[in-house]
Amino acid sequence: MVHFSLVSQDTIHRAFNDYARSPRINWVTSWPGQVVICVDCMYWTKEVGDAIGKGTLRDYSQQCTDELMKVRGDGCAGVRSGA
């Protein structure tokens, strides 16, 4: 169980670093789903806090919606499932 925990932490750490370097559509489809959820929540929390502080929450909301539509677009399901 300890080995699994260390491997998981390493994977999350690598995905976290990769998040800022990769186009979102590539990043989302390159990492396991649970890792994507974990890292995305960390970045989302920081980015929402930043947007609230700057008074740009509405813009950030639109950015998130636009990115979601790209990820959910036609063909992405095939990439995600490996089809």
Distance, in Å, from the CA atom of 43 to the CA atom of 79, rounded to the nearest integer, reads 23
List, in sequence order, every beta strand (DSSP E) within the chain. Answer: none
Q: Residue 12 is encoded by which pair of tokens? A: 């999350």
Instruction: Write down the pLDDT at residue 82.
Output: 46
Distance, in Å, from the CA atom of 64 to the CA atom of 42, rounded to the nearest integer, reads 14
Domain-wise residue ranges, the chain: 2-81
More confident residue, 52 or 8: 52
Q: What percent of the chain has pLDDT over 70?
A: 87
Instruction: Write down the pLDDT at residue 79.
Output: 52
For the cut 70, the answer to whether the pLDDT of residue 11 exceeds it is yes
pLDDT digits (tens, 9 = 90+) for 19-50: 999 998 899 899 999 999 999 999 999 999 99
Instruction: Write down the pLDDT at residue 74.
Output: 58
Kindly compute the dihedral angle of the four CA atoms of residues 15, 21, 23, 27, in this order, to the nearest 10 degrees.
-10
